[in-house]
Structure 1
Amino acid sequence: MGHERQNWTAAPWSDAEVLECAMVIPETADCATFAFRAPSGAWFDYQPGQFLTLELPVPGGPLMRTYTISSSPSRPLSISVTVKAQPGSIGTRWMLDHLKPGMRIKAHGPAGVFSSLRHPAEKYLFISAGSGITPMMAMTTWAWDSGAMPDITFVHAARKPSDIIFKQRLEGFAARVPGLQLCFTVEEVEPFSVWYGYRGRLSQIMLGLMAPDYLEREVFCCGPAPFMQAVRDMLVSLGYDMARYHEESFAAPQPEEVQVEVHEPASVSEVTFAGSGTSVACDGTETVLAVAKRAGLNIPSSCNFGLCGTCKVKKISGEVAMVHNGGISDDEIAEGIILACCARPQGTVVLDL
């Protein structure tokens, strides 16, 4: 049987073009990798560790969900996310039950600043738990494909051995290069199987055995919020330089940890959406996202607290007070980009929307 050759265009993919599901790869229980391609043959350019926001057509209306990209930009003809259903999952459950090859969905991004490329180092320590392994897989694949594998100690915690996502693929990498050391720990072992790794919750003693030179390593951490808090506490107590610690989380940060100066709202503000010619009055306390919704305009959004970057819009003129949590870079702000979910108009603001 002949195979139709996919054209590879000279242009990178942008989120103006929908993605087509190309493959669905089972990983573990209630976990699968979804590989997407651009129907035009466009290639994918991003940093390993970044994420996509998918617009999922669930019953009742589109649902925006953010997923870390588990593939590497060193393999640019497709892009993948690996998702695991949690209790109460809606979007992820829909993907696992209904998203099949050939289906097309809207996506926004890539976005995010969690990437080893932003923090070059001779030695890395990747620490993850559960589905938090996905950005670590992307960064490790990038290192493998680069042809110059750096020194990586890869620590991963799971409930049981069969829950370790990408286990065989990582072992395949580690078996062929000396620079990748894998350290798995599980809370429970499975009957009638042999487990040679660590057992129990990750601890200071365990971390010292896994990476004796942890003080020399750049640390990247991803997992459930309590897990990352425990890792931070461990590293601080061990005297680690936390300026070299980086984490990825889609949970809202603690409000008391955010200290920013917010301008007093103007008594009367107005947002003009240049593309639609609509102007909406507001008092300066509403976010741009809320004003847009009130005007019947749709700005894609997901986290709604300034972390994911899905709701970026271009500000043509005017001032906003913006309290964000890392979903936008200083360069983007300098170019007039704002996050609609956490930007409040101060006077008259004109947006390119």
Structure 2
Amino acid sequence: MSAAAKPRLQFWTDTEELECVSFLPEAPNVVTFCFQSPSRALFNFDPGQFLTFELPLPNRPLYRTYTISSSPSRPTSLTITVKAQADSVGTRWMFDHLRPGMRLRAIGPAGGFSFVHHPAEKYLFISAGSGITPMMSMTTHLYDSGRSMDIVFVNCARRPSEIVFRERLEQMSTRVTGIDLHWVVEGTDPYRPWTGYRGMFNQLMLGLMAQDYLEREVFCCGPEPFMRAVREALAGLGYDMERYHQESFHALPAEAENVPDDVVPQGDNTAEIHFALSGITAKCTETDTVLSVARAAGLVIPSGCTMGICGTCKIRKAEGQVHMLHNGGITDEDIDEGYILACCTNPIGHIAVDA
């Protein structure tokens, strides 16, 4: 076949829906859903990034953000691994209704939580529960590269049966010498012996698992109390926190992007938002967010985390002054081009947005 006749690679973009092709139970209340592009396009993303899914609930679409658990080194399919909590709505819908053949709209990929932005010779991946998903993606990508690696992989779970991806990670670690696995559980399973770590992750465990932790680039993902404990443990041991990276959909106020002090929303000041594409104008106060006003007016603006992290609710501001306090979900370039995040933007007086 001549060079001119060779087929060109096609990569998926979020203008095309994703088709569910299979699902696999991983652990109690944990399922991996596998997707392909209906056009058979390949997937290209940074290991550790996430997608925001539009879930067709009966009343109105629900937007939920999930980390991609597969690796771009295996580009013919894409997986997300989700855990249903007691109060889950979107994830529970997926468990009960999402089946092979169904198609969903997904927005992304997005996020900067990836080793590709922080290359290092040694990594320390620390996770809890379903926070293991970006670590699985990054570890698989490094494993598939065929190059030597040095990863200390720590995952914490309630009990051994709830460790997600345990068998797959242990299989990879038997094939290479650069994946050092450590499991930490709070309790054991009946009639099954456990010889690993028990209790809550702490400084002593860290020293036993990775004596050279000061030399490693740290990535952490899990519930906010867990990540806070990890941060405090590392900081207390003199770790350079500039080399600490975490993925969370719970905002850290101290890390929020600042805005000028002279533009502060006032609860007793009235404001007005004109939604240009819908032709709706709504009265509000300056402390209302664009997203909350849109919802009250019956408009749907896709949103995920609602804390300025995921970037799903990015829309263009056509006119007016706003106050935006985000947590990394929008770039300076986007802001310069007039975009805002509806979930964390307050109108100052009259504004107009493309929604």
Normalised by the length of structure 2, the TM-score is 0.89
Secondary structure in 1 aligned to 2:175? coil
CA 1:259/1:62 → structure 2, altered by over 3 Å: closer, same or farther? closer
**Alpha-carbon distance between aligned partners in 1 of 2:96 and 2:12, rounded to the nearest angstrom:** 27
**Alpha-carbon distance between aligned partners in 1 of 2:98 and 2:191, rounded to the nearest angstrom:** 35
Question: Alignment length, in residue pairs?
Answer: 345
**Alpha-carbon distance between aligned partners in 2 of 1:29 and 1:249, rounded to the nearest angstrom:** 22
Structure 1 contact 316–352 (Cα < 8 Å) conserved: yes
**Alpha-carbon distance between aligned partners in 2 of 1:348 and 1:200, rounded to the nearest angstrom:** 54
Query: Which residue in 2 is equivalent to 1:5?
Result: none
Secondary structure in 2 aligned to 1:12? coil
How far 1:192 sits from its partner (Å)?
Answer: 3.3
**Alpha-carbon distance between aligned partners in 1 of 2:10 and 2:322, rounded to the nearest angstrom:** 34
Structure 2 contact 256–326 (Cα < 8 Å) conserved: no
Query: Which residue in 2 is equivalent to 1:136?
Result: 135
Query: Which residue in 1 is equivalent to 2:314?
Result: 312
- The amino acid of 2:208's aligned partner reads L
Match among 238, 253, 260 for residue 258 of structure 2 = 260
Query: Which residue in 2 is equivalent to 1:168?
Result: 167
Structure 2 contact 250–307 (Cα < 8 Å) conserved: no
How far 1:326 sits from its partner (Å)?
Answer: 1.7
CA 1:257/1:217 → structure 2, altered by over 3 Å: closer, same or farther? closer
Query: Which residue in 1 is equivalent to 2:299?
Result: 297
- The amino acid of 1:345's aligned partner reads P
Identity across the alignment (%): 59
How far 1:196 sits from its partner (Å)?
Answer: 3.5
How far 1:234 sits from its partner (Å)?
Answer: 0.6
Note if 1:102 corresponds to 2:101: yes
Structure 1 contact 9–40 (Cα < 8 Å) conserved: no
Query: Which residue in 2 is equivalent to 1:322?
Result: 324
Provide Cα deviations, 1:39-68, integer angstroms capped at 9, x if missing partner: 122222221111112222234432222111
Query: Which residue in 2 is equivalent to 1:338?
Result: 340
Query: Which residue in 2 is equivalent to 1:206?
Result: 205
Query: Which residue in 1 is equivalent to 2:289?
Result: 287
Structure 1, unaligned runs of 5 or more: 1-7
Query: Which residue in 1 is equivalent to 2:237?
Result: 238
**Alpha-carbon distance between aligned partners in 2 of 1:190 and 1:272, rounded to the nearest angstrom:** 57
Structure 2, unaligned runs of 5 or more: 1-6
Secondary structure in 2 aligned to 1:212? coil
- The amino acid of 2:288's aligned partner reads E
Secondary structure in 2 aligned to 1:106? strand
**Alpha-carbon distance between aligned partners in 1 of 2:33 and 2:162, rounded to the nearest angstrom:** 18
Normalised by the length of structure 1, the TM-score is 0.89
Residues 1-353 of structure 1 mapped to structure 2, 5 A cutoff? 10-253=9-252, 255=253, 260-261=258-259, 262=261, 263-265=263-265, 270-280=272-282, 284-347=286-349, 349-353=351-355
- The amino acid of 1:143's aligned partner reads L
Secondary structure in 1 aligned to 2:299? coil
Structure 2 contact 257–325 (Cα < 8 Å) conserved: no
Provide Cα deviations, 1:235-267, integer angstroms capped at 9, x if missing partner: 0111101111111111243x5775834514596
**Alpha-carbon distance between aligned partners in 1 of 2:146 and 2:337, rounded to the nearest angstrom:** 36
Let me know the Cα RMSD of the aligned residues: 2.4
- Which shifted more, 69-78 or 295-304? 295-304
How far 1:111 sits from its partner (Å)?
Answer: 1.6
- Which shifted more, 196-205 or 215-224? 196-205
- The amino acid of 1:22's aligned partner reads V
Query: Which residue in 2 is equivalent to 1:4?
Result: none
**Alpha-carbon distance between aligned partners in 2 of 1:319 and 1:284, rounded to the nearest angstrom:** 11
